Amino acid sequence: MRRIILALTALVFAAVAIGSLVAPQKLAEGFGQTLANTDALSEFRAVYVGLRLAMAAVFALAARRVDHALLGDLCALLLLGQVAGRVASLVLDGPPSGRIWPMFAGELVGGVALLVIRPSARSDRMLR
């Protein structure tokens, strides 16, 4: 199950990255953002293309090496870091629109699930 979560998350991040590369305005609008100039496009693509592709690669590697618990744990940390940012925004800025809640839920459930269904510490030691 951990392999499936990691692989599916890798695919989602890769799809978001590709979509952000080819249609940044459309994806930004889906998140409630506007990209008014080249600086905004550069920043958007840095996060939604560059960082998401890197995350997709890490999740794919973790899916291939699912018995290496630390890799999956780091992926969980990446997902839960997004959750922490969303919680901070909820407290500081108020509740987001309805289109953000499914992402919040997916990140939370995925991050927690990766930690709950991690391989044993024994399997991690055997890989060293």
The 3 state secondary structure assigned to the chain is CHHHHHHHHHHHHHHHHHHHHHCHHHHHHHCCCCCCCHHHHHHHHHHHHHHHHHHHHHHHHHHHCCCCHHHHHHHHHHHHHHHHHHHHHHHHHCCCCCCCHHHHHHHHHHHHHHHHCCCCHHHHHHCC
pLDDT band at 126 (very low <50, low <70, confident <90, very high): low
Q: Is the pLDDT of residue 122 over 70?
A: no
Over 80: is that where the pLDDT of 96 sits? yes
pLDDT in tens, 10-54: 999 999 999 999 999 999 998 888 999 999 999 999 999 999 999
pLDDT at 39: 96
pLDDT of residue 63: 98
Whole-model pTM: value is: 0.88
The pLDDT of residue 127 is above 80? no
Is the backbone of residue 48 left (phi > 0), alpha (psi -120 to 50) or beta? alpha
The CA–CA distances, whole Å, from 93 to 53, 58, 87, 89 equal 28, 31, 10, 5
**pLDDT for 56-85, tens place per residue?**
999 999 999 999 999 999 999 999 999 999
Confidence of residue 120 (pLDDT cuts 50, 70, 90): confident
Which band of pLDDT confidence, cut at 50, 70 and 90, is reported for residue 125?
low
